[in-house]
Structure 1
Amino acid sequence: MLGDVLDALAAQTRPLDDIVVVDNASTDDTPRLIATREDVTDVVTMTRNYGGAGGFAAGIARALARGADLVWIMDDDTVPAPDALEALLAARAAYPGTPALLAARADWTDGREHPMNVPRYRAGLCRAQRRHAAAIGARPIRTASFVAVLLDARAIREDGLPLAAYFLWNDDFEYTGRLLRRRVGLYVPRARVEHRTAAFGNSTADPGARFVNEVRNKIWTFTRSRAFGPVERAAYMGKTLLRWGALLARSPQRGELVRHLVTGVRESLNPVPATSEVLADTAVAADVRAIEEARP
């Protein structure tokens, strides 16, 4: 799928200035494939798998080190339509302000909007703010997944990178929530990508051992992150507890999930390591430190 993604990026109606690929300790022929691509301008090779959170943090750090003003991030199973970037940039230019984040619509392989990637809409906005977004065919959002979001480098420099310690799950929830706590984020449905996951579904599916990450990272988000205010934390945590309860109630592996829940709670008692600490021995260590040390 990586080849399809790179083909789609090369075919964008608004050409990309740089394409940075993070090879997260792949064990297949990814290095060979990347080596054949003249459009890939930089490759970050990780010596071990740092998960989605570490991979995105590494890629964003390298993009900023290369002078990016805007960073468009996506998984290697996300294939953008030819005009996806053009649509995001058009919405950004038309909005009367500077959005920190613009999210594309992610469809599954059959054209249905993928429930895994539907952004959380922002409540409590004044009528003028809602009208400004609607006028350009967009909607204000509070959080988004990492599937094809366009990030403003200024917001990244002010609030830092994704937390690589999350490894997997909720890293995008925490990070986009942090970026958008006091900034504008927009969902732009006319910017389309295809998210080629194996199945059509969302986080209500039985996660197996990854439930440890779900529990630990959610608790870290609600107790250690500045992404959400007190009312938001209470509301999101309430919904999370209800979802966990429903998941446990219908799971045929309830005992195993309970064990994962206990492990996640236990791990959440530890401090969240800084991203510079997690990625200290990687090729982007200096890039990460430069961002973290320059934060106001």
Structure 2
Amino acid sequence: MGRRDRFFIVITTFNRAGYLTELLASIGELSPAPDGVIVVNNASTDATADVIAGAAERFAALSKPVPVIHQELPTNVGGSGGFSAGVERALAEGAQWMWLMDDDVTTLPDAIESFGPWMDKYDALVGRRYDASGAPFFWQHNFSSFLGVFLPARGDVFAHGNEFPTNVGCFEGMLVHADAVAAVGLPDPRFFLTWDDAIYGWLISLTRPVVYVNAFVLRKARAQRSVDLGIRHLNDSSDLSRFYVMRNRGLVAGYLRAHGRFNRAGFALGTALTAGKELLRLVAVERTLRGSSKLWAGWRASRPLLADTDWKPMPALER
């Protein structure tokens, strides 16, 4: 098997049949084509199942047929649970590479070829994205284990080359090799939503490089309200995300402890910074403080996780 063989796309979707239709149509235009597509359906109640069935029929008729696997879950387990199930299924199907993405993006036709030069060197890549208007989408961070948060990198990270070494991941376009997955285990479904990809990238970075590459591979299909802060953009959010961004601080702490990187004072400061960022997002982007109660509820929900002395990280996989 060659280094670039068995390239699978893993999508997690929930009640976004319209966006999923656009994404699957764009995947049908990829050249070269992937070796398989796994769509994890998080118990959607709209026309998602019909969209997947239609794509499976069209992809089967391509000059190089591409299997579309509908992984339907009985309950909504969130983005993290969906990616955990999708990566597990991809490995069972013999995937060597897994390109992870949400349902509200579209792929660029030459995306897989664009990844090619880096697939021979690295096991974890994040490509660039355009936003819904066609402008470059901001994503350039490094994770601070002292604070337990990811911080924006200043300036043009590609000013002196086409690779930016990072230590965080993003499940809106992260490409991972099966070897990297085996080293750290499946994505942790306990996050449900938010922090899961950042921690997954950090875990991989402890064993091998994670690289943000100067290749545009995706376009955001869903327009978002945002504000430009100079060193980064803040996009709109949701009450569900606000709850989990605070609740999952407990899981972030668990991973830091498991790897001997937890600093109580630094982590407390990072939690305060996280809450402050979300309050700023509410005021600057959404023009309201309605939703701030979800931050408090999430922080309270994080306390039992922080106090759980029996908590264990996801286990490595056998290869």
TM-score class, shorter? 0.7 to 0.9
1:22 aligns with 2:56: no
Secondary structure, aligned partner of 1:19 = strand
1:156 aligns with 2:181: yes
Cα distance in structure 1, aligned partners of 2:316 and 2:198:
24
Q: Which residue of 2 aligns with 1:36?
A: 54
Cα distance in structure 2, aligned partners of 1:72 and 1:206:
24
Cα distance in structure 1, aligned partners of 2:290 and 2:22:
40
1:48 aligns with 2:75: yes
Q: CA RMSD in A?
A: 3.2
Deviations 1:156-192 (A, max 9, x none): 1121111111111111111111111231111122232
Q: Which residue of 2 aligns with 1:119?
A: 140
**Do 1:77 and 1:196's aligned partners in 2 also have CA atoms closer than 8 Å?**
yes
**Do 2:242 and 2:295's aligned partners in 1 also have CA atoms closer than 8 Å?**
yes
**Do 1:165 and 1:274's aligned partners in 2 also have CA atoms closer than 8 Å?**
no
- Higher share in helix: 1
Structure 1 residues 21 and 85, CA gap change in structure 2 (3 angstroms)? same
Secondary structure, aligned partner of 1:27 = coil
% identity of equivalent residues = 28
Q: Which residue of 2 aligns with 1:289?
A: none
Deviations 1:243-272 (A, max 9, x none): 422543764765852x43332233222359
Q: What is the one-letter code of the residue matched to 1:191?
A: F
Cα distance in structure 2, aligned partners of 1:234 and 1:161:
30
Cα distance in structure 1, aligned partners of 2:197 and 2:75:
21
Any residues of structure 2 matched to 1:62-77 within 5 Å, and which? 62-77=89-104
Cα distance in structure 1, aligned partners of 2:85 and 2:273:
34
Deviations 1:114-151 (A, max 9, x none): 23xx032489xxxxxxxxx9997222111121111110
Secondary structure, aligned partner of 2:27 = helix
TM-score by length of 1: 0.77
1:102 aligns with 2:125: yes
Kindly tell me the number of residue pairs found equivalent between the two proteins: 265
Cα distance in structure 2, aligned partners of 1:219 and 1:27:
31
Structure 1 residues 20 and 185, CA gap change in structure 2 (3 angstroms)? same
Cα distance in structure 2, aligned partners of 1:243 and 1:34:
37
State which drifts further: 62-71 or 106-115.
106-115
Select the residue among 285, 297, 301 that pairs with 1:263.
297
Q: Which residue of 1 aligns with 2:154?
A: none
Give the deviation of 1:219 after TM superposition: 3.1
Higher relative contact order (CA 8 A, sep 6+): 1
